[in-house]
Structure 1
Amino acid sequence: MQEFVNLTLGGVITGSVYAAFALALVLIWRSTRIVNFAQGAMAALTTFIAIALIDAGQSYWVGLVVALLSGLVIGAVVERVVIRPVEGGPELNAVIVTLGLFIAIQALISVLFGVNQRAFVPPFSNIGFRIGDTTLGSLSPNTVYTLIAVLLVMVALIALFRFTRLGLAMRASAFGQEVARLLGVRVGRMLTLGWALAAVVGSLAGMLIAAETAFVAPTFMDSLIVFGFVAAVLGGLDSPIGAVVGGLVLGVALSYVRGYLGDTLVGLAALVILVVVLLVRPGGLFSTTQTRRA
């Protein structure tokens, strides 16, 4: 029973990390209708910037703020310089560009910060809470911080897109640029803002993931790109709530697979979940008919 509880808690914590990355994908999809496969590399770059500051004697929180601000700037620059020339063309063009950007940013990280693993000290303890004589190894102050951060981001995104004119303008720019322009929306600015905000959320995800793993390397986000994408598709690329639920469901499911069947089947299990979702409910668990038609 204790093993089941630990696997479940571990899955929830891992799933919250998947959810953080999935939220970044959802944000950029809702605001630009592009799936950014370079999101992980961009998050890794801002995480290494934060680590450089922390190693220089700054606190984790200073590093976090600088990472978020760096993500904001990098996201805006990438949209203006790299993505803007292919926006409005065939959708495959943007996908290929983001894949190329992923490779380029990873190479840049290796050049600037080296290829070796580096330790990352989490802001809170990773020692599990004790309940009586039982230690919950998967639930610690740091994992609670991760869960709270992910939930706050989810609430912020829901509020942005449902209750603000800015969120409405961003969605209008993504779905119909010409109509949005006729209504007075500055489409170019909205697309740039969408990329910038998505990069901020991705930077937060990178910091949370680094705190959970305690080690980072230029490729430390690679597996999270896959699992975060599956989580986003599972919940629905248009739904922040779906991203969180999809991340948690995926995390728990893969935790059970890892605990009872072994690590070698984790990747296969994620693939099976992705295929089943695409066959049964292509828009994700939280999709609507209107979303799929859009």
Structure 2
Amino acid sequence: MGTFIQLVIDGLSTGSVYAALALAIVLVNQATGLINFAQGGMAVLSAYIAFALTQLGAPLILAILASIVASLALGALIEWYLMRRFERGDPDTAVVVTIGLLTLITGICAWIWSYDNQIFPPLFPTGTVTVLGAVLSFSSLGTIIVIVAIMVLLQVLFVGTKLGLALRAVAINTQSAAFSGLPVGRLLMVGWGLAAGLGAVAGILVAPQLSLTPGMMDNALVYALAAVILGGLSSPIGVVIAAWLIGVLENLAAAYIGFIGYDLKIAVPFILIFVVLIGRPQGLFGRKAVVRV
């Protein structure tokens, strides 16, 4: 039982990292209707900014806050200066632009900080607590609590605030939103800025658990996209639950299914996607799109 609980908690912690990035992808999609593949690179850049500030002597909490603020500004700037030229054109072109942006940001991080592994300061106390024989780190518990808080805040934003409803209106139909008097350009900047800030949280959560490198979010981005597909692009709660499900099932499959082991556990989320999408193409918690023709 202790081993099982350990695997579940560790899976929830790992899934929480995927969830942070997945929530940022959902936020951009809810604001613009696009999938932002550059989200992983922006998260890495944010982590490096926080790391550089700590190296200059800034307290960790101030470095993290400064990094999130810088990410908010960077996300808004990218939307205003770059993505706005493509958002009203072919969506496929805009997606390709975000992939190019991912490569560019990763290259910039490597150019400035190199590919050498860097040690990011721990965010949470280094102690552990024992529950039913399982040793749970404060880092794992803290990561889960942070993601739950963000999930609740995003759900409240999209469902219970005028800003969230306006962002969704712009994503659904930009022209109708503009005719209704909504400041479309400003809302798009806000959506990208918020998503970049959320990506910064993801990068800062990952950095202490792994070595800080330009490519540290590559695997997390793949799992985050899997969580988005499973949970549904319209549901922040859904993508978090899907990310947790992926993290837990990966751990359990690696430990208890002999032919999968730790070498093939990466296949687990994709098998899960295949099974779920046969019955629910919109994802576990997504809504069906109804198009009038």
| TM-score over 0.5 (shorter chain) | yes
Q: How far, CA to CA, are the matches of 1:219 and 1:155 in structure 2?
A: 29
Other-structure match for 1:112: 112
Structure 1 residue identity aligned to 2:231: G
Residue 281 of structure 2: SS of its match in structure 1?
A: coil
Other-structure match for 2:245: 249
Residue 283 of structure 1: SS of its match in structure 2?
A: coil
Other-structure match for 1:263: 262
Offset at residue 220 of structure 1 (A): 0.3
Distance 1:230 1:280, change over 3 A: same
Q: How far, CA to CA, are the matches of 2:27 and 2:291 in structure 1?
A: 19
Asked if 1 retains the 8 angstrom alpha-carbon contact of 2:106 and 2:214, the reply is yes
1:102 paired to 2:99: no
Other-structure match for 1:22: 22
- The 10-residue stretch of structure 1 (52-61 or 257-266) with the greater mean CA deviation from structure 2: 257-266
Asked if 1 retains the 8 angstrom alpha-carbon contact of 2:71 and 2:193, the reply is yes
1:221 paired to 2:217: yes
Residue 129 of structure 1: SS of its match in structure 2?
A: strand
Distance 1:52 1:267, change over 3 A: same
Residue 208 of structure 2: SS of its match in structure 1?
A: helix
Other-structure match for 2:173: 176
* Superposition RMSD in Å: 1.6
Residue 98 of structure 1: SS of its match in structure 2?
A: helix
Structure 2 residue identity aligned to 1:65: L
1:154 paired to 2:148: no
Q: How far, CA to CA, are the matches of 1:160 and 1:271 in structure 2?
A: 30
Number of corresponding residues: 289
Other-structure match for 1:63: 63
Other-structure match for 1:281: 280
Q: How far, CA to CA, are the matches of 2:266 and 2:131 in structure 1?
A: 33
Distance 1:240 1:292, change over 3 A: farther
Asked if 1 retains the 8 angstrom alpha-carbon contact of 2:74 and 2:196, the reply is yes
Runs of 4+ in 1 over 4 A off after TM superposition: 291-294
Distance 1:181 1:244, change over 3 A: same
Distance 1:19 1:125, change over 3 A: same
Distance 1:59 1:81, change over 3 A: same
Asked if 1 retains the 8 angstrom alpha-carbon contact of 2:119 and 2:208, the reply is no
Q: How far, CA to CA, are the matches of 2:52 and 2:200 in structure 1?
A: 15
Percent identical among aligned pairs is 37
Other-structure match for 1:145: 142
Offset at residue 203 of structure 1 (A): 0.5
Unaligned runs of 5+ in 2: none
Asked if 2 retains the 8 angstrom alpha-carbon contact of 1:177 and 1:187, the reply is yes
Asked if 1 retains the 8 angstrom alpha-carbon contact of 2:10 and 2:140, the reply is no
Asked if 2 retains the 8 angstrom alpha-carbon contact of 1:257 and 1:265, the reply is no
Q: How far, CA to CA, are the matches of 2:251 and 2:153 in structure 1?
A: 28
Offset at residue 128 of structure 1 (A): 2.7
Other-structure match for 2:2: 2
Structure 1 residue identity aligned to 2:286: S
State TM-score, norm by structure 2. Answer: 0.94
Other-structure match for 1:232: 228
Other-structure match for 1:38: 38
Asked if 1 retains the 8 angstrom alpha-carbon contact of 2:231 and 2:238, the reply is yes
Asked if 2 retains the 8 angstrom alpha-carbon contact of 1:15 and 1:252, the reply is yes
Unaligned runs of 5+ in 1: none
Asked if 2 retains the 8 angstrom alpha-carbon contact of 1:50 and 1:67, the reply is yes
Structure 2 residue identity aligned to 1:225: L
Other-structure match for 1:76: 76
- The 10-residue stretch of structure 1 (67-76 or 2-11) with the greater mean CA deviation from structure 2: 2-11
Asked if 1 retains the 8 angstrom alpha-carbon contact of 2:234 and 2:287, the reply is no
Q: How far, CA to CA, are the matches of 2:123 and 2:57 in structure 1?
A: 14
Structure 2 residue identity aligned to 1:268: A
Offset at residue 131 of structure 1 (A): 4.4
Asked if 1 retains the 8 angstrom alpha-carbon contact of 2:232 and 2:287, the reply is no
Q: How far, CA to CA, are the matches of 1:292 and 1:279 in structure 2?
A: 19
